[in-house]
Amino acid sequence: MAKTKPSIPKGTRDFGPEQMVRRNYIFDTIRSVFRKYGFLPIETPAMENLSTLLGKYGDEGDKLLFKILNSGEFIDKADPEIFRPGNSNAASLAICEKGLRYDLTVPFARFVVQYRNDIAFPFKRYQIQPVWRADRPQKGRYREFYQCDVDVIGSNSLLNEAELVLIINEVFEKLKIRTLLKVNNRKILSGIAEVIGHADKLIDITVAIDKIEKIGIEAVNAELRQKGIDDSAIEKLQPIILLQGSNEEKLSVLRNVLKDSEVGVRGIEEMEELFRYVDAWGDLSTQIELDLSLARGLNYYTGAIFEVKALDAEIGSICGGGRYDDLTGIFGLPNVSGVGVSFGADRIYDVMLQLNLFPESVSSTTQVIFSNFGDKEVAYSMPAARNLRNAGICVEIYPDAVKVRKQFEYANKRNIRFMVIAGENEMQNREFSVKNMETGEQVTIAFENLEEYIKSNL
């Protein structure tokens, strides 16, 4: 009987050592920037109670939640009537009490409320963990992927938004990804919905226009009609969401368009203040654009919203987030405002791989390998290997006394920079032969000078 070939679920991936070294380079780079700005790490469980997750992401988001079956005889305990056709959502809730987290923001809000007596506000946290979405897998979109979140909660200051812009700029500068940061404000979107006569349809409008890049303006208009937005309102909406010009010019036009909307004017004032802060930081490598079609379909955003695109790669957003004024209120702690962004590590990885942006130094963790010609040679090499490790250099000793050609092949496959060779002649003269595996150059170095030579040539 033929055995089934092992496989993994669609939308998930295995990562080998070379990939993990590169992924850790991304995580370490992002983490180092977070720490520079005073953020502290936390972790939350992979699964949360469904009551924590449901209703926080809108109807479309709720459909993408992975639900976990209750343990034990869950079918026997459920009402059979609930399993009738067309009642799948209620049926799943009857047999599932937990789900895999959809993002890190809602679990963070739950964390803040649960431990509010143990943390100091404003609370600045970062979190680097996987999330899960029951989405259709496609290029750049996975069912399991890592997010690198950074949030400030317990402060209304727009200085927090400005510092997030700085963090975005610095992370992508370090990773050498040219980026465009699109910004908008949900208050502006609320004002737009108000002036076109559909303030009650804000969610429908934002969910639709958030898809402009994916499906085009005509398809967006068709969706708006399906949601009950009349043609007159859709016509008024077009020049607003497709507004061109500099950020200042767009805000100037909006001031006139939204002059009768109190919430819309407040959104414009917030954007102007954010741009003033950003200008005060000086020139940034990241381009910043006010994009009125940017809506980010999550219901909990209430102020500034952010989305980052890679300029040199065809892929979705690689970072996004925004201001949420009362996310903790649903867990019993009202009127606590927060703002944050999430870096999509998996998409960042794909962009860097596509553009060949990973430094050669992160293709292998091992920098030096010592040859092995027998027990005496290994014993001779051990103190030198230990000295290099104590100096912070990553070192291996080849474990088996095999032909040197096989040891060279191993070093090449692992992208190890230096092979340190100790044979009979080297031991007699208390020295090593050091071969640069990249250039093929080989030199003889005194035992006591090995560390200095390796350090100066790495």
Q: CA 59 to CA 277: how far, in whole Å?
A: 36
Helices (H), 97-226: 105-114, 159-174, 186-195, 202-209, 212-215, 217-226
DSSP character for 36?
H
Residue 231 structure tokens:
């043609």
- Give the amino acid at 345: A
Q: CA 455 to CA 349: how far, in whole Å?
A: 29
- 275-301 pLDDT, tens digit per residue, is 999 999 888 999 999 998 888 755 678
Q: CA 154 to CA 261: how far, in whole Å?
A: 27
Q: Look at residue 307 and give its three-state secondary structure.
A: strand
Q: Look at residue 428 and give its three-state secondary structure.
A: helix
Q: CA 378 to CA 214: how far, in whole Å?
A: 60
Exposure b/e, 129-167, CB count within 10 A at least 16 = b: bbbbbeeeeeebbbbbbbbbbbbbbbbeebebbbbbbbb
What residues are designated binding site? 103-105, 133, 147, 151, 296, 300-301
Residue 348 structure tokens:
């960042």
The strand pairing partners of 368, in sequence order, are 395, 418
- In the chain, DSSP finds a helix count (H) and a strand count (E) of 19, 16
Q: CA 336 to CA 334: how far, in whole Å?
A: 6
Q: CA 217 to CA 224: how far, in whole Å?
A: 10
Q: CA 400 to CA 117: how far, in whole Å?
A: 57
Query: Are 64 and 102 within 8 A, CB to CB?
Result: yes
Q: Which helix (H) or strand (E) segment is 185 a member of?
A: strand 179-185
Helices (H), 227-281: 231-241, 247-257, 262-281
- Domains of the chain, with CATH numbers? 17-47+102-354 (3.30.930.10), 364-457 (3.40.50.800)
Burial of 209 (0-12, 13-18, 19+ CB in 10 A): buried
- Give the amino acid at 40: L
pLDDT score of 88? 59
Give Cα 263 distance to the centre of its chain. 31
What residues are designated binding site for L-histidine? 103-105, 133, 147, 151, 296, 300-301
Q: CA 131 to CA 150: how far, in whole Å?
A: 15
pLDDT score of 363? 65
pLDDT in tens, the chain (458 residues): 557 889 999 999 999 988 999 999 999 999 999 999 999 999 999 999 988 988 877 777 888 999 988 877 666 666 666 666 655 556 667 778 899 999 998 899 999 999 999 999 999 999 999 999 998 888 767 899 999 999 999 999 999 999 999 999 999 999 999 999 999 999 998 998 888 888 888 778 877 877 887 788 888 888 888 888 888 888 888 888 788 899 999 999 899 889 989 999 999 999 999 999 999 988 899 999 999 888 875 567 899 999 999 999 988 899 999 998 887 888 888 889 999 999 999 899 999 999 999 987 776 679 999 999 999 999 999 999 999 999 999 999 999 999 999 999 999 998 899 999 999 999 999 999 999 999 999 999 999 999 999 999 98
Q: Look at residue 431 and give its three-state secondary structure.
A: strand
Confidence (pTM): 0.83
* Distances in whole angstroms, Cα of residue 261 to Cα of each of 117, 128, 228, 239, 320: 39, 39, 22, 18, 27
* Distances in whole angstroms, Cα of residue 4 to Cα of each of 8, 14, 341: 12, 18, 42
Q: What angle do CA 321, 68, 76 make, to 5 degrees?
A: 150
